[in-house]
Each structure stands twice: as C-alpha cells, then as structure tokens.
Chain A
Amino acid sequence: EDQVTQSPEALRLQEGESSSLNCSYTVSGLRGLFWYRQDPGKGPEFLFTLYSAGEEKEKERLKATLTKKESFLHITAPKPEDSATYLCAVQAFRLGGGGSNYKLTFGKGTLLTVNP
C-alpha cells in the first residue's frame, strides 16, 4: 500500500525566514510525485511534478527536490501570501494498468503560516 507522510504538520515562519517541508513516501514504483498548494476553502492547486531522484523544479520562491525516499519543498524568503497548506501526493505503477495508474495518494499536508 502506498504511503505518504508529511512533516511538520504545521510550520510558522517570519517573513523572509527560509525553511523546508518534508514529504517521505513508500511506493512500489514511483510514476510521479506531486506538490499542491491549498488555500482555506478552496481546492488544491497544482504546483510541481517530479519523476526521478535528483530532479528539481522551481517556481518563484518554491523549489521542490526528489530523492528515492523523500521530497522537499524549499521556501526561500517567504512572504505572507505563501501561507497555505502544502500537499504532497504520489502516483504509482500498478499491476493491471489502466485508470489505476492515474490515482494519487495524498499526505495529510503541512500548514504553513508566514507572519509579516
């Protein structure tokens, strides 16, 4: 069974104070690891997909990295508008293929608060 564990559950930063969020995963065969941002009362918004160990992707103040067991979301010089819940999800190779290969297993998320 695929498992995704995110830490910490909550993180409070001062504006400009860089930090990282962790996503550790257990999956039989990784097709992709996804990061989403979720604002209160809204649906998750897609940020990145990572496919193989060593891969990195960047978007503004966010950089996602991937190893064989975990992914990090680095936040550089965060601003209050970066406050949100960040979700990590994995997509795995599954026997039988078809639609089951597109399913995502999500972690519980990290609630990030950036104070001005």
Chain B
Amino acid sequence: NAGVTQTPKFRILKIGQSMTLQCTQDMNHNYMYWYRQDPGMGLKLIYYSVGAGITDKGEVPNGYNVSRSTTEDFPLRLELAAPSQTSVYFCASSPDRINYGYTFGSGTRLTVV
C-alpha cells in the first residue's frame, strides 16, 4: 500500500523555469491538497481538490496551478519559478470524512536559484 507518492524528491530550478510536481494516491480519496512548508512558518495551503475536475485556491496560490483529471493524480505546476518558491512541498489526501486525518506524501524539496 503506497499511500501518497510524490516525485521528484529534490529539484533545483533556475529563475524563470517551469516544472510540475507529481502527486499520486492509491487510497481512492476524493480530497487532495498541496501545502508548502517553509522554515519557522508552518504548512500553508496552496490548492486543494474535492474530486476529479474540481479544484480551488488555498492561502498562497499565486505562481502555481493545479489540475485534477483523475481521482489518483493531483499535479502542481510552477510557472516562471521565483526564489520565493524555494520550499518543501507536500501533497496530502483524505477521505470524505471529517474525523480522518490527512495522509501526507514524503515531500519535494525545491530550490530556485
């Protein structure tokens, strides 16, 4: 049982480049989320999705885009990377029940230089 799988684990981008962070879950969860974690700042919600074809903005969506074509996949797209996007990115999923916590992936550490 893989849970939530994120790729790549590490990436260095140059300013202005673009990339897609991949996230796949095998638990048939409808709800999926992207968070970023900066030192001393806690986890901040970027985007979330309540099911295939439905996405919505979180607290810090600027500079990012998402899509959700299947239940399993929720990729995060960075366009025109900036140093402010240097962070650790976590994907998570949850079932349609409040009393279940999120299952997180192991994260992608992104550095923009």
Contact = CB atoms under 8 A, between A and B. Distances in A.
Interface residues of A, number: 28
A72 to B, nearest CB: 18
Contacts of B50: 98-99, 102
A43 B25 CA distance: 14
A34 B104 CA distance: 14
Contacts, number: 64
A103 B102 CA distance: 10
Interface stretch (B11-19, B39-47, B70-78): B39-47
A87 B98 contact: no
Interface residues of B, number: 29
A103 B49 contact: no
Interface in B11-66: 31, 33, 35, 40-45, 48-50, 54, 56, 58
A49 interface: yes
A14 interface: no
Contact of A104 (B40, B49, B102): B102
20 contacts: A32-B98, A41-B106, A42-B106, A42-B107, A43-B92, A43-B105, A44-B43, A45-B104, A46-B102, A46-B103, A47-B101, A98-B50, A101-B98, A102-B31, A102-B94, A106-B42, A106-B44, A107-B42, A108-B41, A108-B42
